[in-house]
Structures are given as structure tokens and as C-alpha cells.
Structure 1
Amino acid sequence: MPELRKDPISDRWVIFSPARSRRPSEYSRSGEAPLPESSDFAQGNEDRTPPEIYAIRPDGSDANTPGWQLRVVPNKFPAIMRDNPDVTSASPLFQRRPAIGAHEVVIETGDSDSSLADLSTAELAQVLRCFRDRIRALKAEGRFQYVQVFKNHGQNAGATIRHSHSQIMAFPDIPEEISREMQSASAHFSREGRCIFCDLLEAENQQEERLIAQNDLFQALSPFAARVSCETWILPRTHHSHFEGHSDEDLHLLADLLRIALVKINRVLGFPPYNLILHSAPLRQAALPDYHWHIEIIPRTSYLAGLEWSCGYYQNALMPEEAARQLREAAL
């Protein structure tokens, strides 16, 4: 069963989930992706996944049958589990606890040959509405504090299945990285009385050199301290702490900008693997004046090496101002 163990030196928690080693991979050791006869996630292979817990079926077809445009199923090889036997810490020095939570897979399309960037704005809006609806549903359960939505695209970004999909994980506590981000935002609010993300957007709009694209509600930019080439953030232009508070109309506009950002990244970097992550405020907290939800797109054009592992310093060979210029000028 999955469990969490705490490093007594760094205070870092690590998830151990041995069942994940049994995941099938559609990638060879060389990194090439041989085409399987048919993906488990493809239309018509519904019996190869756990029963769906959410689906978009315009023709009213039955659950777990063909006719869907998007499906959500429990992860067959979960890193965390809803019902997980308790584990006892051996000592205060060696702390461990069960890795409890929900782990879901969002199958974003029935077409095994389409990537997220290939979807239409309407199709991409369906994916974003699914994220919102699943966050709301997991929040309603009352047992989770945080929901993390993320996507691994390509083998070097951690994907083992080529068919376009993303993942949703719900945790009973707030992950360390989110806590650090929120503490930084809270400290800025205590000093300045304003949201740091709102201040960031105002400054970026004044300077303009790191802006990539925008519409009436959302803005895409290259962050000032981008960790990798063409790292891109998308934020609402007005203050919103919780992603799940947005309407269908809002998410349609977000889908349009997200599609533009992904297409431009593909043009500049040649269809790179990437991670996409959504950071939103914790479930049990009301609207926060100091936090601003956002999407981070992190192209995986290089590997973490000795400096990153030893010191935590990222190395980026492309200045964010130049990355933003290339992305702005990239054709759609």
C-alpha cells in the first residue's frame, strides 16, 4: 500500500507507491513511442479502465461504452488511495503515514492521435470544465484539503501512455510546495496590503517585455525567473483565488488562451514534452485576498542535473524576455 515517509534532514515527505512500478509503458527505452495496437484510453476500450466517475456524452450513451468526448476514471495504479491501512511510525526519527487521497485520470479525448494542443477551443473548454467540476465534487466530500491537477505530456515529462490525458489528485493536507507559495504570498500581503500576483500582473503590463498573449479575462506571460526555456504562466487578470469559482464562459476564454500558448510553445521548441500544473487555493479556505490561482506550463527541454539536485538552482539558457518575444511572434 502507498505510504508517506518523512526525510528527517530536509523535512521532505516522499510518496512510496510500489504498485506504480507495474504501470505499462508505451515508450521504449530509447524514448521512441511505438504505436500500440490500441490504447487503453481509446474509444471502444472502456473495459480496459476502471468504471468512469465522470463523462461528457453528447449522445446520451451509457456509462463505460463508446460515444464519449471525455472520461474520468480512477487511476488503475494510484500513488495515493482513498482507503489505506494505517502505518505506524517506527520512531520520531523515522516518521511515516498512509498515503491517503483520490487519484483520477482525465482522458481528454477519444482520439489517440490528438494532443491537448490539437483540440479545438470548445474541446479544450470541456477539459477545463471537467477540472472545475471534479474539484467541486472532491471538495463536497469534505475529506480533502487540496486538489492538484496536472498533465505530463511526453515520456521526458513523466508520461507512460501516449493518449492525451491529465491527472487529478486530492490530498487530506496541503502539499509542501503549495504551502511555501502561499506563505510567500501571505508575507507580501502583510507588508503591502495587496496580492503579489496582482502586483506582478500590473508590473508585467507596464513593462510588457515578458507578455505573450492575453484576452479580456486571462493573460499568458514568461515569468521573470523562468526555470526553463519558454516556461509560461497563465493567470486571471482580475483577482481569483479559486479556479473552481469560474463560469463556463470564463473557461471558454481560458481554453482559447491555453490553446494559443501550447501552439506557440510547439512552434518555438518543436513540440517538446511538458508538464502543465494548476495551482489553486486550498478547498477549505474561503476566497483569499492574498492568493491568485494560475497555470504553469513547463517545457522539458533539459534535465535536472547536479546543480539543481544539490543546490536547488535552476539553470536556464534562454532569457524570459527573449522567450516571450519568440512566443509572441510564433505563428498560430
Structure 2
Amino acid sequence: MNALRQDRTTGQWAVIAPGRGKRPSDLAASAGAVAPLPPKDPSCPFCPGNENMLPRIIEEAAREAVPGWATRVVPNKYPILQRSESVPADCLEAGYGEHEVVIISPSHYLDIPDLTGADMQALTDTWFRRFAALQALPGIEDVVLFCNRGSTAGASLAHAHSQVIGMPIRSPHIVAALAWSAAYHRDCGRCVICDELAREEASEDRVVELGESFAVLVPFAARGPFEQWIVPRRHSPHFLDAGTQERKDLAGVVQRALQRLVAAVGRVPYNIVVEPGSRHVEEASYAHWAIRIVPEVTIPGGFELQSDIIVNPYSPEDNAESLRQAR
């Protein structure tokens, strides 16, 4: 039966319409599965040996195996925002900011589900390190960390990479989410994400994985098929508040979530987005960071564009069961 559901952590709406869905195995074909790639592409700037195609190298995470690095960080050649020698008087007019690319692996064909445990840890360590570096820049108010995989998910290059962008303003999405969380905290005296996590753990219907540090859920009002939400189980206001064990655990949690997606659906396009919470002390009681993994397997139509209500043709409960069983 179809249902209108509201995400209790953001206020956003979704129509859950499982009668409109296909078998999970059909999603890869309809979405355009990510095609196999060669180990190296002579025209790819992210492949070892093609460093002359890069603007410069900001940093590398070293490893013993050839070519000597697990992840590499470079400036985006076509940045959304661009840093100057000093913070301009009008950051908005100047398009001030920073835009970096994190190359996920030296291998042209590997994606996050395929990495070794050590290389996956190197990747998440790089994410935390670059997020902190951009957050510390003068004039930067908000940092956006994301990964696009597949052309329909916004990836312009096939070689797996993620991106970190420092902005001189707060993301409107984050502003709206924090306003919703603040209102809930005023009314209830508690963090809305902590409360939602407690409800999900109690019902177990949409829980995919429950570890010491993180819960992995299919959201109650998931805005797309097989969306997964990775949430710190303790109240944690900001991404950079993650402790040593949480940073270690996150590598495995993200990788397993993507491995389950591949096993359940196939190699479909997807986005990973960090919802960073807030670093401001006055918002710490209701801010709570998380990560969303969103497969891009449906195309919004006129109804979604006009109403901002997404139609999800799959049941979150069925998706969670499929992901729990996926190997």
C-alpha cells in the first residue's frame, strides 16, 4: 500500500509507492550500471604516470605497494569556488572558497567496495584530514564532502574520486536541517536524530547494521531505493567530533554499506554525502552528523519538481531486508 511519510529528522516528505518498483536486480539495467574499467587509462589525469595532467599534488597517503600512495589529493581543475591570496571583502561576489579532489585509489578500475581494509582506512583518514584543513581556512564557514560515482550521479571522470569544497556561507540544506532540529529540541528537549535512532533500533524494521559506533538504516521516509543512512550511535554534533575508534570503525561501515548495495542491486550510480552537523557550540545539543549513501536509480518527474515530494517506488522495510541478506 502506498503511503506519505515525513522524515522526522528533516521534515522532508516522500511517497512510498512499492507497487511502482521493479525487482532490485532490474535497477542496474534501468539506471545504467557502472561499466567495468581497465586497470589504467592513458588519458586519465588520476592514474599514476599521468601527473603532468594534474594542476599539482596537495598530499598523498603513503603505502608500500607501487605506486607508493593509497589516496592522492589535488586541486579541482574546474573549481566551483576558488581561493585567493587573501579573503576578499565580498566572498560571495568573488566566488571565494576551496575545491579539492580526493583520488580514491591509484587503480583506474577500483571503487570503494573493492578497496583493501588498509586502503579504505587511508581514504576515510584523508576525508577527515582534508575536511579539517578546509574548515580551518580563513573565511570558510561550511565544508561539503561528497562522492559521485557514475555519470548519472554527477561524476565527470570514471576514475573513482570524491570531493571536498569549502564555502564562505553555510549550506542552505544544513541551515534548514538545523532549524528543524532546533525546533524539535525546543519542543522536546532532545536531539531529533538521537530520538529517531532510538525508535529505529527499537523497531528493527529498517536497521541494516548495528555496531558499537554506528547504526546503518534505510530511512523511514527514504527518498530513493536502497538509500542508507549511517549515524553515530552517540550524540555527536559535528563530523570532526568523531573519536579515534569512530574514525577507525567508519571505514568498514561505509565500505560494507556499499558492498551490500552491490550485492543487492549491482554496480549502480550512487552519491555519498556527509551531513556534517554543526561546529557551533550553541547548536551542539541538537546537531548530529551523519552520512547518506543514495543510489541514483530513479529520475525525478514533474510531480517531484513541483511538490518537492519524492516518489520512492520501493518499500524501505523491504530494502532493509534485502541489504541485511546481501553478501
Shift of 1:87: 11
CA distance in 1, matches of 2:258, 2:319: 14
User: Which of 14, 37, 44 matches 1:39?
Assistant: 44
Shift of 1:44: 1.9
CA distance in 1, matches of 2:65, 2:104: 18
Matches within 5 A, 1:214-233: 214-233=210-229
| Contact 1:103 1:169 survives alignment (8 Å) | yes
Structure 2: which amino acid aligns with 1:222? V
Q: Percent identity?
A: 32
Deviations 1:53-88 (A, max 9, x none): 121123599xxxx52211111100011111399899
CA distance in 2, matches of 1:59, 1:153: 27
Tell me the equivalent position of 1:152.
Answer: 148
User: Which of 263, 267, 279 matches 1:271?
Assistant: 267
| Contact 1:226 1:320 survives alignment (8 Å) | yes
Structure 1: which amino acid aligns with 2:166? A
Matches within 5 A, 1:1-332: 36-58=41-63, 66-83=67-84, 97-283=93-279, 285=281, 288-331=284-327
Structure 2 residue ranges without an equivalent (≥5): 1-31
| Contact 1:194 1:290 survives alignment (8 Å) | yes
CA distance in 2, matches of 1:111, 1:155: 19
Alignment CA distance shift 1:237-1:86 (3 Å):
closer
Structure 1: which amino acid aligns with 2:58? I
Shift of 1:242: 1.3
| Contact 2:33 2:267 survives alignment (8 Å) | no
- Partner SS, residue 315 of structure 1: strand
Alignment CA distance shift 1:271-1:59 (3 Å):
closer
Deviations 1:29-52 (A, max 9, x none): x99868643421012222211211
Shift of 1:123: 1.5
Deviations 1:249-299 (A, max 9, x none): 322211111111101111122111001100113445577110110000110
Tell me the equivalent position of 1:4.
Answer: none
CA distance in 1, matches of 2:33, 2:325: 31
Structure 2: which amino acid aligns with 1:243? F
**TM-score, scaled relative to structure 1:** 0.82
CA distance in 2, matches of 1:140, 1:79: 19
Task: Kindly tell me the number of residue pairs found equivalent between the two proteins.
Answer: 291
Alignment CA distance shift 1:202-1:32 (3 Å):
closer
**TM-score, scaled relative to structure 2:** 0.83
Alignment CA distance shift 1:173-1:45 (3 Å):
same
| Contact 1:217 1:250 survives alignment (8 Å) | yes
Alignment CA distance shift 1:202-1:240 (3 Å):
same
Shift of 1:201: 0.6
CA distance in 1, matches of 2:287, 2:263: 32
- Partner SS, residue 56 of structure 1: strand
CA distance in 2, matches of 1:328, 1:59: 35
Q: Please give the root-mean-square deviation of Cα atoms over the aligned residues, in Å.
A: 2.5
171-180 or 287-296, which deviates more: 287-296
| Contact 2:278 2:288 survives alignment (8 Å) | no
Structure 1 residue ranges without an equivalent (≥5): 1-29, 89-95
